[in-house]
Structures are given as structure tokens and as C-alpha cells.
Amino acid sequence: MSISSAFSIARSGLSTTEGRASLVAGNIANAQTEGYVRREAAQVSTNGQSGTVELRIARQVDERLAGMSRNASAELGQASATSEILGSYLITLGEPGDEVSPAARLAEFQAGLDLLANNPSDPAAQNDLLSRSETLVHSINKAAVELEASRGQAGDSLVSSVGEVNAALSDIAELNERLALAGTDPTGTSGLMDEMNRRLDALGTQMDFQGRWEADGTLTLHTTGGTELVHGETAVKLSANRDTGRLMAGDVDITPNSPTARGSDSGRLAGLSGLIANDLPQMKLQLDELARGLVQSFEAADSSVGAGQPGLFTDAGGAFDPAQLDGLAGRLSINNSVQPDKGGALWRLRDGVGATIPGEPGDTTQLNAFVDVLETGMTFDAATGLSTNARLGDFAADLVSQQNVLRVSADAQAETARVRLITFEDNRSSIEGVNVDTELQKLLEIEQAYGANSQVLSSLSDMLDTLLASV
């Protein structure tokens, strides 16, 4: 080997060690930077004869693992949205067996009817039944109000999430533009790829998606149903209908789990859209059907009222109107005729709300008819997802149980997704993250290599001086 070749190798060695030191220092400096992916340098020979080398920098990523992590994040986002939206409402509704639930209040009302039937002339028993009636109505009213608030919250959250998705898609399109200008050399694009990684992780919480890296280094995104979201420098803008839960990507329907749409199946968007389109309307119908059962059955059982006249339970003071079922749970009320503070009389609880004069004090005919109402099965709308023929109390109990199961199931799914996400993220961290101790050990090795190359250069310089001196 000639002295000049030796000089070239030594200088190349010094250059590569300096590059490696700079790379390691960058890793250490960014150890706590969110989305930063550890860099590793590989020495590549550029001249087999001279032995010179250069560094090739590569980001330590596992795209398959990153995709699994984002899918778990989407599942967590979907389940968490359901749990979040239903939380306040279900606290108001109560759990099965909870004394604040409409089912429990209805059972208390039924017990009050039995007590009054045993002592129909007792003013205290009459007043107690009125109080239980009001408590029952209040529990249904309150649940209806809170459910409507949950619908509004879901709509607001959906619009907000769509805004976040649009911002992420726009950022990805901008990053694509910068990546196309930077070329495909990983040395010059590592920072941009880190930023892309952060945007994709944020997007993964909102929706699941598919990505494809193009030959020019840009990323194309699609929904899992195949609708294009980002291509090159262009990002599609999403829009949402807060009332129906429908989602659009430009003019393409991407409503999650819609049989005719080409959207996503999981993520916060899917959770919110499903709540607005399906779950919340069904829960509202269940409450309205419970209210209808009370209004309609007590009208039918009351011999003192005629057709079109309200019974003990009313629609804001009026009789039941099939065309006005929507929102009935929020309008449910007690007939003024049995409320002394509104010009009514307690004895009508015994004799019928339409009675004009008190009946016999010991007559339980009407009370027994009211009791029978609660012991007799009635028909309910199949769209409730509950039994189509059941006693009113059983329907109320099923309502409370099913609506709580929805959140329990969401919580369980969220916990499962959370565990999966933690596992995937830990694995990603072991690959992509920076271990400062390991990087410091690398610095020591680099320092030794730098010293060795410096010593070679020093020795070569001495040899050259000796040769020159001998000429």
C-alpha cells in the first residue's frame, strides 16, 4: 500500500468517525423528542482499491409494527369516544338495580299503587303515590335531557375530530411536497420522515387508514375502504353532518360501517359517527317508548277519561299522539288534575283523573285497574332492540341494562386496545427510541476509533518527513 493510499484511508476514517459522533450526539439530544426515530450509520466502501468509506444514515423503523400500533390506537379512539360520550348520561340513567334508574323508580311507583290499594282513603298514601309518580317522571325527563346533551356533545366532538383529521391530512400533503423536493436520500429526509411519523400517529387515533410509499418518496393515503385521502401534494377535505353522523371525503361517502360507503372501520370518527347515526337514536327511542307505555296504558286503564283525553301520565298535559312520539320522554308529565298545588285533588289517584266528584272511600276498582296495567304485557317497537312484548317494568329494566352494557363493552374494548397499544409502543420504542446509555457507549467506541485514525495519520506524517529528509 502506498503512503498516499494510507493517508486517504486514515482521513476517510477520521471523517466517518466525526460523522458517527455527530449522529450519536443527535440521537442523545433528541432522546426525549416526540416522534424522533433513532438514526444508525452504516459504513459503505466507496473505493475498493483505496479502502475509503462513507456513512449511510438510516432511520430505525419497523413499518409493520407502526401500522399495528396505529390500528390499536384507532380501536382505542373508537371505544374511548363511546365511553366518553355516554359517561354523563349513564350516570344520570343509573345502573341495573340502582335506585335512581327509571326501572327502580317505576318499581317504587308500582309499590306505591299497592300501598294505596290497601288503604285507598288514606291521604298520606295518596300523597306518597303522587310523590312517587313525580319521581318516576323526573327520572325519565332527566335521562332524556342528558341523552340529548350527549347527542350534542357527540356532534361537537365529530366536527372537532374532522377538523383535526383535515389538519393532519393537510400537513401530510405539505410534507409530501418537501419530501419530493428533498429526494430519496435518507440522510436529507430523516427529519421530514420523523414529522411524517408524528402526523400519522396523530391521524391513527382518529381513523384507521392504509398508506403506500411512492417511488418519489411521497406517501399516498387511503381509507381502509379505498377512498383516497392524500396523493402527493393534494389532500382531500373531510366534512361531517353533526346530526346524522355522515362523513364525506370531498364528494365520496366514507361514513364508517356504512354498507355503501368506502370509509374506515375504527377510530374516533367511527365511534362518534356510530353513536350519532345508530346508538343514540336507538337509546332515545327506548326512552320514548317507555314514556309512551306509561302515557298510553294509564289512559286506557282509566275509566274516567274518554278517547283523546289524558290519563295520569301525559304528553306535556295532553293525551298520547302517535305522530308526536319523538321526544316524548322529555315531555312526560303528571296530570294536573291529581296535583293539589295545580288545582287538582289527590282523591283522583283513587277514582280516576277524569272524576268530577270523589267516589266511595274504600273503592279500589280504579286502583286495581292501574295495578293490572303494570302486570300486563304490552307491545313495543321492534326498532328499540328490546323485547317487543313485555311488562312495562321489565321493558324499563331491559332498557337500563342494555344501555349500560354498551358502555361496559366500550370500556372493555378500550382496555384491550390500550394494552395492545402499550405493547406495540414498547416494541416500537425498543426499535425506534434512543437508549442514552447505549449511545454514550458508542461515543466511547467512536473516540477510540478517532484516536486510532489520528495515530495513523501522525505515524504517516512522521514517515513522510523521514523520507523527505533522506532525499
309 part of a folded domain: yes
Q: State residue 173's pLDDT score.
A: 96
Shared domain check, 114 and 23: no
- At 290-319, the pLDDT tens digits run 999 999 999 999 999 998 999 999 999 999
Angstrom distance (rounded) from CA 221 to CA 227: 9
Q: Which residue has the cell 371505544?
A: 79
Q: State residue 64's pLDDT score.
A: 86
Shared domain check, 408 and 381: yes
Angstrom distance (rounded) from CA 129 to CA 18: 88
Judge whether residue 288 has pLDDT over 70: yes
Cell numbers standing for residue 72: 390499536
Q: State residue 36's pLDDT score.
A: 76
- At 354-410, the pLDDT tens digits run 999 999 999 999 999 999 999 999 999 999 999 999 999 999 999 999 999 999 999
Average pLDDT score over residue span 420-442? 75
Cell numbers standing for residue 450: 478517532
52 part of a folded domain: yes
Judge whether residue 446 has pLDDT over 60: no
pLDDT higher for 79 or 432?
Answer: 79
Q: State residue 258's pLDDT score.
A: 81
Angstrom distance (rounded) from CA 114 to CA 367: 8
pLDDT higher for 311 or 448?
Answer: 311
pLDDT higher for 13 or 257?
Answer: 257
Average pLDDT score over residue span 147-175? 97
Angstrom distance (rounded) from CA 200 to CA 223: 13
Shared domain check, 203 and 270: yes
152 part of a folded domain: yes
Cell numbers standing for residue 465: 518527513
Amino acid at site 243: D
Q: Whose CA is closest to 284, among 225, 316, 327, 318?
A: 327
Q: State residue 9's pLDDT score.
A: 54
Q: State residue 431's pLDDT score.
A: 76
Q: State residue 134's pLDDT score.
A: 97
- At 191-247, the pLDDT tens digits run 888 899 899 999 999 999 999 999 888 999 999 999 999 999 999 999 999 999 999
Angstrom distance (rounded) from CA 251 to CA 238: 9
Shared domain check, 464 and 394: no
A 10 A CB-CB count for 436 gives 11
Shared domain check, 352 and 272: yes
Q: Residue 151: left if φ>0, alpha if ψ -120 to 50, beta else—which one?
A: alpha
Q: Which residues contact 286 (CB under 8 A, 6 or more apart)?
A: 384, 385, 386, 399, 402, 403
426 part of a folded domain: no
Shared domain check, 379 and 291: yes
pLDDT higher for 465 or 320?
Answer: 320
428 part of a folded domain: no
H helical segments located in 30-122: 63-93, 102-118
Angle between helices 3-29 and 436-470 (to 10 degrees): 160
Contact 374, 396 (CB under 8 A): no
pTM: 0.83
Q: Whose CA is closest to 336, among 130, 194, 166?
A: 130
Q: State residue 54's pLDDT score.
A: 60
- At 102-144, the pLDDT tens digits run 999 999 999 999 999 999 999 999 999 999 999 999 999 999 9
Q: Whose CA is closest to 433, among 10, 66, 2?
A: 66
Instruction: Note down the domain range covering 441.
Output: 3-60+433-470
Q: Whose CA is closest to 298, among 311, 309, 310, 308?
A: 311
Shared domain check, 110 and 25: no
Shared domain check, 304 and 223: yes
List, in sequence order, every residue forming a beta bridge with 315; answer none if it has no partner.
318, 332
Shared domain check, 180 and 122: yes
Judge whether residue 468 has pLDDT over 70: no
SS3 call for 429:
helix
pLDDT above 90 covers a percentage of the chain that reads 67
Judge whether residue 456 has pLDDT over 60: no
pLDDT above 70 covers a percentage of the chain that reads 78
Shared domain check, 447 and 374: no
Length of the chain: 471
Its sign, for the CA torsion 210, 213, 214, 218, is positive
Contact 374, 110 (CB under 8 A): yes
- At 7-47, the pLDDT tens digits run 555 555 555 666 556 656 665 766 667 767 766 766 555 55
274 part of a folded domain: yes
383 part of a folded domain: yes
Q: State residue 184's pLDDT score.
A: 65
Confidence band of 2 (pLDDT split at 50, 70, 90): low
Angle between helices 392-432 and 365-375 (to 10 degrees): 30
Contact 21, 450 (CB under 8 A): yes
A 10 A CB-CB count for 422 gives 12
Judge whether residue 336 has pLDDT over 60: yes
Domains: count for the chain = 2
Shared domain check, 230 and 105: yes
Confidence band of 433 (pLDDT split at 50, 70, 90): low
160 part of a folded domain: yes
Averaged pLDDT of the chain: 86
Contact 329, 92 (CB under 8 A): no
Angstrom distance (rounded) from CA 81 to CA 162: 14
| DSSP string for residues in 288-306 | HHHHHHHHHHHHHH-TTS-
**CA distances for 343 relative to 79, 243, 304, 331, 336, angstroms:** 50, 41, 18, 20, 7
Shared domain check, 297 and 367: yes
pLDDT higher for 463 or 249?
Answer: 249
Angstrom distance (rounded) from CA 414 to CA 267: 11
Average pLDDT score over residue span 69-85? 93
